[in-house]
Each structure stands twice: as C-alpha cells, then as structure tokens.
Amino acid sequence: MRYSVELLLENEVLPKDKNRIILSLLKHNFKSYDKEYYQELYEDTSNKVKPFTFSLYMGNCKFLKEEINIPDKKIILNYSTNDLRNGIIFYNSMLQNRGKAYSIKNNSVKVNKINLLNEKTIMDDAVVFRTMSPISVREHNGDNKKTWYHTLNDENGKEIFMNNLTFQLLNEFGEERILDFREIEVIVLGNKEVKIKNYDIEVLGNICKLKIKAKPYILYYLYKAGIGSMRSSGFGMVDIV
Amino acid sequence: MSENIRLYMEDWLYNSGIVGFYNILKESEDEVTIKDNYIEFNPKVLENFEEKYFNYFINIYEETLAWHKIVSFEDFIKYHEDTDLKEFSSNSLDSLNKYITDILKRYIKSNSYVAAYELINSDVDILQLEKDITTIKLNKTQKLEDVLPEVKTTLSKIYKVIDYVKSDEAKRYLAAKNVIYNIIKNAWEGVSFLNRQPKEKDIYVDYRQYFIPPVMEYLGSDKKKFKYNCFTCDSEMKDFKNDLSFLNATGFDVARKTSHVWDFNNDVAVCPICKLIYSCVPAGFTYVYDNGIYINDNSSLSNAIEANKKIKSEILKKHEVTRSLTYRALVKSIQEQFTENMKYELTDIQVVRYENSKYRFNILTRDILDLIHKSKNSLNSLISAGYKEVNTYFNIYDLVIDSLFNTQNLFLIIHKLLIYKLSTPNDCYFNGLQLFNVMNINDKFMRGLGYMEKIDSEKDIVKDGNMQGYFLRKEYKEKKAESKLSGIAYRLLNALKVNSKDMFMDTLLNCYLYVRKPVPQIILEGLKDDVAFKTIGYAFVSGLIEGKENTNNGGDSNVK
C-alpha cells in the first residue's frame, strides 16, 4: 500500500534532521489512534523490524547550513508498507489527526490530504528501481561504535548491501526461500552519494538507480517495504522506473 | 412349508427392503417379529401379498396421488349442491374449469388409467362420461347467472365420474396405477408390472406371478443340491437367473455388460426371497415426487423402522408437499432429538437420498447435528428462500443442508447469492436477512471445524461486518454516489473469490478515502485470519448492497 500525505507547515524553516520529525509525527499518530499497536511497533520489542518505509518530497526547497527552507510550506510524505494492517492503521491514524497541528522545533506540522497511490504490478523478474529516499548500506554487527555506512560505488559496499538484502529477505520469508535469494542480481545503474543528517549524525546515503533481477514476489516485496537498512526511519523507499 | 423365515440386515438397500417389507406386513396387521438385526415371519403372510403390497402404498401416499386429486373435488360439488349454487362465484367457475382441464381430463385420459378401465368390473363408460364434460365459458353478453344451469349439469356429470373413480374396485386399480408410476418406479423398473410389454394386464396378478411363486418353489425345494450362493443373503440357490438389473442405479444387464464382474463371469444374483425383499425397497424409502430418503440406522432393525417411520410421518403429515420436504423432515427429526433428550440418536448414521435418479450418501456427524440444532432459527428462515438459475429453481435451504451434510463450507453459496443479488435481482427469491442467516450458519460451521481461533468467539463478526457495509452505503448515499456501489461490490467479490486480501483492501481503502472515514476495526480483525477475512468480507458486501436496517439479532425489520 502506498500513500502520499500532504503535510502543511506553519513557517518555512524546517530543521535538517527532518526524518526525525516525521518519525515523531508517525509515532504520535499511531499512539493516539491505537496505543496497543504503537507499543507493538515501538516498545514491546526493541529493534523490531517495522513493515514500512517513507520518503519526503519538499518541492523547490533550499538546503541551508543547519536547516531547510521550504517556501511552499508543504511537504509530501510518501509512505509505503507491505503489511495491510499497518497500512490501514496508518490511514486511520492520519485521518484521525487530520487538520490538527503537531508542534515541532520552531514550527508545527499539519496533515492535510491523504491519497492512496496505485501500485504498479510486477510481472517480470527484473525491475529498475529508482530511490525515493536514499538507500542506506550499513555495517552494524550489533556494536554502535563500529557502525559504518558504505557507498554503493565500491565493491565492498556492494557486498555489504547484498548481505543486508539477504538478511532482510530471510527475516521476511524465512530459510526455505534461501535459494531464491542467492539468485538475486543487483546492478547499480548510477549512484550519487549524499550525506543525511539523521539523529545528529551525518549518515552516508545512496541516491541511485538499481536494476534487480529476482523472483517477482521478492521484487514486489522490495517495492513495497523498501530496500536496505533503516527503512522505517526514512531510508530505502523505491519506485519502479 | 410352515417353517419361519429369518432375514438379517445387510447393506442399506437391502435394509430399506426389509423395513419396507415390515411396513407392508404391519399395515395389513400380519404377524412379524423383529429382533436385534433380523426379521422373522411365517411364509403364510405371503398369501395375498400383492394386495397388501399395493394397499400399503395407496394408504400411505393416498393424499399425494392423482386419484385423490380427482376425488377430492367431491367436497366442492357437495357444497354447491347443498347451497343450490347460491355461493357460486366467478372464482368458483374458474376453479371448476381449472379442475376440468388440469385434473379431470388430464388424468382420466392418461394412458395408465385407460389401460386400467378394462380391468374394472363396471358398466360405466368412463371415457364417454369424460367426453361429455366440457369447460364452461362466459361470452361477453353472458352473466354468471346465465350459465348456472349448465354448471349444475356439469357438476352432476363430474359427480358421476367421481362416483365411479371412488368405487372400491376403481380405487384398487387407478390408485395402484398412480402408486406404480409415482412411487414404485423410483426404486425399480423393467420387470413385472413395470415391464414395457406386460403379458398380464392385471397389475395385482402380475406382481404375484412374478415375485411370489418363485419364493414358494424355493422354500419347498431341496437346497442341498444347490451349488451357488445368494449375492445378498448367502443362502444356497440353484442358478444365477435372478439378477439385480431391475433395481435403479444398482443393477446392470448381466447378459450384455459382463465387464462389471470379475473375469466376465457374472456371480451377482439373488435368491427369490431377496428379490421379493428388494421389490419392497420403495416401501422403506419415503418419496416426495422423485426425491427419496432413507435413514440407514443399522444398529438395530427396530431403530431403522422407527427412524424412517418418523421421517415418513413428518413428510406425509401435511398436505403441502414440496421438494425440499425430504431434508426438512430429516432436520426436524434431528431437532426433535434434542428437545426430547434423546441426544445424538442419529449420530454417525448414513442417510441415503434418492435424487435425480441417483443415490447420494451422507453420514451425519455429531458436530453437524449439533450445528443444525444450534442454527434452528436461521435454518427455518431459509425454507422459502431460493433463486433461479437458467430457468431452474434452487432452494437455498436444500443447498445449505446439502453442503453441511457433506461438511462443505457455504462460501460458494454465499458468493453465488451475492452475485445474483447484484446481477439478476429478479431471479432472487431471498432477502438480506436470509443471506445474513446463511453467513451466520457458515460462521458457526467454520468455528465448529476449529477455524478462526484467533478471533474472539464472543464477537459477532458477521453482524459487525454487515453493519459496516451498511454504514459505508449510507456514506455513499449522502454523497449521492450510490450507483458506484455495485461496481465496488463486484470488485470486492472478485477479491474474496480469489482470496486476495490486497485487492480487497485496496478497493476498500479507496472507498473509505472517498468518504473520508476511517477503516472500521472489524476489517482489521479480518486480516488476522483467512477464514475470518472471507466471513467478514462477504458480510460486508452483503451489507453494502442490501442496505439493511437494524438486524436486531435476527430481527425482522428489513428496509431496502
């Protein structure tokens, strides 16, 4: 399920750490609509894999040193999930908080329009994805100090990306599909490294085009749930070219 | 000769024959003993057996016979003669004309009756009488009063016919003819009086000659020299002459179709006694038109007799005879069990139904009996419900019971009903409440099978789903977009048919986005479980297209 939600800002200035703001808004909305579901997602188990991803479109904005200037005072939040329940709760919670101002640092944000986007169907076993939010290739290994973010431009980064991808799919589909995962081929068609401020640290992201060859069900899942690490905090959302 | 004969219970068809045989003898107050699994009688009872045989059928099925239709008009005639045609209205004239064309002329001239007249010892030329009777028509200038004299003579003519038909002698043959073609023909065909070219015209004599002398001869013969054994009762017999080809859907032509038996050597044949018993099969079954039912309770013979007696009295007690009666009678006796604390007497018993010239078998399990009892009210509401498909009428009650007996879920029926409700509402003879009841029964059925464990059993998901569908309809109504709903309903039904939650939710979300309302909680409930998804989905669609107001736990208000 894909939505685009129009968010209205009270003034033009938005801090650069924008994903954090959206996440806060999401959490607030989930919590106010269904507290149990919020706890299920964020409190009951730590590091739970969330079934959604999102990206932001800010129109003709200007990146300043510490903040972003958005003259239209409008952000489009693109949201995609592979879980129907999550999709419906997201819709319901957004609808419930529609028109209510949610205050953020020096500003406030308001949900305006909610649209359901048509999902493209995948019939082939190869698809070219375009990122809507940067893909994060993270080497984590359970130790925050050794965490490292890679670029898809070098071989090492690609290898780690493939490992992450397999891990992500294993988590979703289980061991029995592992042969399908080994067949996956990824070709990077073009990549631009970007630095994103995420919770006060600069993170390396990849804005790229990827050609992925895999079974259609895998492609469909990636299309809906996003690719790479930290999907539920605004990374790895893709669209089909 | 006077040695008693014992017959033991065997397979279902033979059992129904024994039960029928017992019924016939009981009706004529002969002496028979029944023990655990056998019946014992003296060959003396076979004297005059043909009379007993036909008597039984005529007595039991009397009210359903064409003969009775002719005779029962007597009351009408008597009433109008007594009142001297003062009460005779144009309606009476219509029913008189209808009687003359649809009943009197039709049956009196029918081939089976015509063949019987020569056997009846009477001077009356019935066919001539029939020719004299004509319908009475009013032309434009005439009033009802003008034809009353004519009515009077017609009535007296009809009275003569009835008088003839009613006489013992005529009843003996005419009613027997009806019995043969309406009842007996369902069980066997081709031999004795059902032979296409009978040598003997008197059906009574024909029956006796075909079935009884072989029995007597067999009883008197020395069985020690016999080499073969009866296929059914295993007693010795002389040859393989008595095959089973006369039984419907059971026997085969052993002369022409030998491939049914091992090495093309037929060993399927029965002794004359068994053949006689098989000729009693129609007395064991209970028939309504060409549908029959027999409960093969083979735990003991007395149970079998009792169970089938109940069914018989239930089916034949009322004058209204419809096709669905066979099932309804069964369900009724199931429900009686519960009220009379004879719990589960019918559990795990085979029910044999004769339908479209085929036998069908079901086993009644405890769960299904329980379910049928629990859904008593829902089921009763379905009796009059039906739909038409390519000019054939289907009764929903029958379909539901049929599926339940076969432990099949009702989603297919529900889907069909919804589709018809959407596409050809004129062929649907059911309302939303009845549909709702079918879904309720299915919900209970699925839960009984252990599905939907994750769903709170206290929650009435069918009702909730239905209500939410109704609310959405209301929203659309307010937006004056009601015409969009049937298209949406089709899409939802397609999604349900292929079990696609994605497709269903996609359509549904679009609807809710359109009306700017949150998706109800009950829909989320459906995402937890596949069966619950279908249950809720169908309930939702039915609410969406019906627009039902206040279900009130099976209540009655239903506003379109």
Strand-pair partners of B78: none
Distance from CA of A189 to the nearest CA of B (A): 31
pLDDT digits (tens, 9 = 90+) for A175-214: 898 888 888 999 999 889 888 888 888 888 999 999 999 9
- What end-to-end distance do the CA atoms of chain A give, in Å? 18
- Please state the φ and ψ torsions of residue B556, each to the nearest 5 degrees: -120, -20
Q: B495 to chain A, minimum CA–CA distance in Å?
A: 14
Q: Which residues in chain A are contacts of B523 at CB distance < 8 A?
A: 88
Helix pair angle (A155-173, A216-225), 10° resolution: 100
- What was the pLDDT predicted at B555? 41
A92 neighbourhood in chain B, CB within 8 Å: 518-519
pLDDT band at A223 (very low <50, low <70, confident <90, very high): very high
Q: Does A91 touch chain B (CB under 8 A)?
A: yes
State the pLDDT at residue B98.
92
pLDDT for B341 equals: 54
CB contacts under 8 A, A 109-138 vs B, are 114-116, 119
Interface residue B321 vs chain A (CB under 8 A): no
Q: How far apart are CA A15 and CA B458, in angstroms?
A: 50
Give A-chain residues touching B524 at CB under 8 angstroms.
85, 88-89
Q: Taking CB atoms and an 8 Å cut-off, how many pairs form between chains A and B?
A: 36
pLDDT at position B325, please? Answer: 65
Residue predicted with more confidence, B555 or A102: A102
CA distance A93 to chain B (A): 8
The shortest CB-CB distance from A95 to any of B506, B518, B523 is to B518
Distance, CA of A151 to CA of A153 (rounded, Å): 5
Q: Are the beta carbons of A91 and B523 separated by less than 8 Å?
A: no
How far, rounded to the nearest angstrom, does the alpha carbon of residue B302 sit from its chain's CA centroid? 24
**Helix B168-182 to helix B49-61 angle, to the nearest 10 degrees?**
80
Flag if A95 and B510 touch (Cβ within 8 Å): no
For residue B63, what pLDDT is reported?
Answer: 85
Q: A95 to chain B: which residues are within 8 Å by CB?
A: 516-518
With CA atoms as reference, the chain A residue closest to B525 would be A85
A91 contacts B509? CB cut-off 8 A: yes
- Quote the Cα angle for B236-B242-B247, to 5°: 125
Q: What is the pLDDT of residue B19?
A: 94
B7-12 CB contacts, 8 Å cutoff, 24+ apart: B7/B38, B7/B39, B7/B40, B7/B233, B7/B273, B7/B277, B8/B37, B8/B38, B8/B233, B9/B37, B9/B38, B9/B298, B9/B301, B9/B304, B10/B232, B10/B233, B11/B232, B12/B294, B12/B296, B12/B298, B12/B350, B12/B352
Q: For residues B541 and B508, give the distance between their C-alpha atoms in angstroms, rounded to a whole number.
A: 10
CB atoms B517 and A95 under 8 Å: yes
B516 vs A87: CB contact, 8 Å cut-off? no
Which chain A residues are within 8 Å of B512, Cβ to Cβ? 91
Residues in a beta bridge with A15: A67
Q: Which of A88, A92, A115 sits opposite B505 (nearest CB)?
A: A88
Rg (CA), chain B: 30
Name the residue facing A95 among B510, B516, B527 (closest C-beta): B516
In this prediction the ipTM stands at 0.84
Say if the Cβ atoms of B524 and A116 lie within 8 Å.
Answer: no
Whether the CB of A100 is below 8 Å from some CB of chain B: the reply is no
Q: How far apart are CA B486 and CA B547, in angstroms?
A: 12
* Shortest distance, CA A119 to any CA of chain B (angstroms): 10
Give the minimum alpha-carbon distance from B530 to chain A in angstroms, rounded to a whole number: 13
Verify whether the Cβ–Cβ distance B513 to A115 is below 8 Å.
yes
Cβ–Cβ below 8 Å for B505 and A1: yes
What's the Cα-to-Cα distance from B134 to each of B84, B89, B106, B113, B475, rounded to whole Å? Answer: 21, 18, 13, 20, 63
Q: Does B505 touch chain A (CB under 8 A)?
A: yes
**Whole-number pLDDT of residue A140:** 80
With CB atoms and an 8 Å threshold, state whether B505 touches A84: yes
CB within 8 Å: B512 and A1: no
How far off is chain B from A84, nearest CA to CA, in Å? 7
Whole-angstrom distance, CA of residue A203 vs CA of residue A194: 8
Q: In what order do the strands lie in the sheet with A107-117?
A: A52-57, A74-81, A2-9, A107-117, A101-104
* B509 and chain A in contact, CB less than 8 A: yes
Interface contact B205, partner A, CB < 8 A: no
A87–chain B Cβ distance below 8 A for any pair: yes
pLDDT at B16: 94
CB contact under 8 A, B527 and A85: yes
Q: Residue A118: closest CA among chain B residues belongs to which residue?
A: B506
Nearest residue on chain A to B526, alpha-carbon basis: A85
Structure token digits, residue B244: 């089973």
Q: Is A88 on the interface with B (CB under 8 A)?
A: yes
Among A6, A85, A122, most B C-beta atoms within 10 A, so best to mutate, is A85
**Residues of chain B with C-beta less than 8 angstroms from the C-beta of A85:** 524, 527
A4 touches chain B (CB under 8 A): no
CB contact under 8 A, B506 and A1: yes
For residue A116, which residues of chain B lie inside 8 Å, CB to CB?
A: 506, 509-510, 513
What is the least distance, in Å, from the CA of A101 to any CA of chain B?
19
Tell me if chain A has a CB within 8 Å of the CB of B513.
yes
Tens of pLDDT along chain B (560 residues) come to 468 899 999 899 999 999 999 999 999 998 899 988 899 999 999 999 999 999 999 999 888 889 998 998 998 999 988 888 888 888 889 999 999 999 999 999 998 899 889 888 888 888 888 888 888 888 888 888 888 888 888 999 999 899 999 999 899 999 999 999 999 999 999 888 998 888 888 999 999 999 999 999 998 888 888 888 898 888 888 888 888 889 988 888 888 888 888 888 888 889 999 999 999 999 999 888 788 889 888 888 988 898 888 888 877 776 555 555 667 777 777 777 666 555 556 778 888 888 888 898 888 887 888 888 888 888 888 888 889 888 888 888 888 988 888 888 899 999 999 999 888 888 888 888 899 999 999 998 998 888 888 877 778 888 999 999 999 998 998 988 888 888 999 999 999 999 988 889 989 999 998 998 999 988 888 888 888 899 999 999 999 987 543 333 444 444 44
A98 three-class SS = strand
Task: Please give the pLDDT value at position B276.
Answer: 93
With an 8 Å Cβ cutoff, is B524 touching chain A?
yes
Q: Chain B partners of A220 at a C-beta cutoff of 8 Å?
A: none
Closest chain B CA to residue A1: B506
C-alpha distances (whole Å) from A192 to each of A130, A188, A210, B369 are 12, 11, 12, 69
Q: Which of B509, B511, B525, B540 to mutate to test the interface with A (most CBs of A within 10 A)?
A: B509
| pLDDT confidence of residue B55 | 93
| B499 at interface of A, judged by CB pairs closer than 8 A | no
